[in-house]
Amino acid sequence: MTARSRASGGATLVAAVVFVAAGCGDLPPPPAVTPVPSSRAARDDSDAWNGVPRGASSLADLDMNALRASPWSRALVTGGFVEDREERRRVFGYDVFNDADRIVVAGFEGAGGTTQIVVVVGRFDAARVGQAFASATPGAVAPRWRDCPIWEGGGRAVTVLPSGRTLVQGTPETARAAIDAAWGVVPDARGGPLGALARDVDAESHRPAVTLALLVTDEVRARASGIVDVPPDLRRGAARVDLGPDIELSAVAVFDDDARASTAARLWTGALRELAQNRMLRIMGLGPLVDGITLDPEGARVHGRLRIPEDKREALAERVLLLLQAVARQRGQGAPQP
């Protein structure tokens, strides 16, 4: 496999995940949460989910160790952007590609706007992170919340929990909410609907490289309008990506009842057949990839699966790279000229 195809394969995977994760940032902020008695005797930031309040409505969980280890993504995660490593450490106080073991991006919605929390588990020097934030943020202040310093300014905030293994980025409000969740002052996401979705795809007992979970709210439907058809009775969904020799993707969509799930599976299967016959996909050799997706209704759920074998990796990387280049050219031609 060429270096370019390895990088493009990794870029394709990580770009897709980052796209979904970034979408979490388009969600409104969480409503006020009434503190509840802690189920923990002390702070616990041993798991990134512990820093996500239960009010989250979407979540993307990336296992950076798995992404670094996989030939599907290693070239991007460990080799990509090497020349920018010291610059990232200077600007952020750490390097996400090397210092992070796990990244969770959670989105919230409510009436007041949009926000997100990013919880990063790894190895951090709090003083270095704080100095980097203060250098990049004129007027930054450093109050404390519980026993954590929080650097904040310009509507942004970052904190490193006392263990030095968990960093949280968000707004001043969401950074405090994350600390509260880690302390058990408010319930965390694991015990809520997103945690149930993660268990639906077995992401707790056997953690994948990537986990995605989403509650389908009215706001989600509004953002999807004109881009993708979201069934009115689809309530929530989750997906996992496993990176072994093959890529294995599995997903579950939850509906109001059995009949609606069965109808959706039938409609989606027909749409996939039509997509697989798309002339551009056939020219690019990507039709068989779409053909490989299976959809199976089970009660009020629809299970989707796709496996991409190891021997398809190089060809897929090259073809996806060409497709992305074609899309970029088309956008460039349509962009206004200076």
Side-chain-side CA neighbours of residue 240 (13 Å): 22
pLDDT at residue 143 in the model = 93
Classify residue 304: in a domain, yes or no.
no
pLDDT at residue 76 in the model = 67
Percentage of residues in the chain with pLDDT exceeding 70? Answer: 77
Classify residue 302: in a domain, yes or no.
no
What distance in Å separates the CA atoms of residue 248 and residue 203, rounded to the nearest whole number?
A: 13
Task: Kindly list the distances between the CA atom of residue 134 and the CA atoms of 121, 138, 142, 156, 193, in Å, as whole numbers in the listed order.
Answer: 21, 7, 9, 11, 36
Q: Mean pLDDT, to the nearest integer, of 101-129?
A: 88
Classify residue 327: in a domain, yes or no.
no
Classify residue 276: in a domain, yes or no.
no
User: Token pair of 109, please?
Assistant: 């919605």
What distance in Å separates the CA atoms of residue 249 and residue 69, rounded to the nearest whole number?
A: 18
pLDDT at residue 221 in the model = 86
Classify residue 337: in a domain, yes or no.
no
Percentage of residues in the chain with pLDDT exceeding 90? Answer: 48
What distance in Å separates the CA atoms of residue 95 and residue 123, rounded to the nearest whole number?
A: 10
Classify residue 18: in a domain, yes or no.
yes
Classify residue 46: in a domain, yes or no.
yes
Q: Phi then psi for 200, rounded to 5 degrees?
A: -60, -30
What distance in Å separates the CA atoms of residue 131 and residue 90, rounded to the nearest whole number?
A: 9
43 or 199, higher pLDDT: 199
Q: How many domains does the chain have?
A: 1
pTM of the model: 0.79
- Domain range for 23 is 3-253
pLDDT at residue 254 in the model = 96
**At 242, is the pLDDT very low, low, confident or very high (cuts 50, 70, 90)?**
very high
Classify residue 307: in a domain, yes or no.
no
Task: Kindly list the distances between the CA atom of residue 184 and the CA atoms of 33, 163, 179, 188, in Å, as whole numbers in the listed order.
Answer: 12, 16, 9, 7
pLDDT at residue 7 in the model = 36
User: Is residue 114's pLDDT more than 90?
Assistant: no
Most confident of 86-90, 105-109, 256-260: 256-260
pLDDT at residue 226 in the model = 78
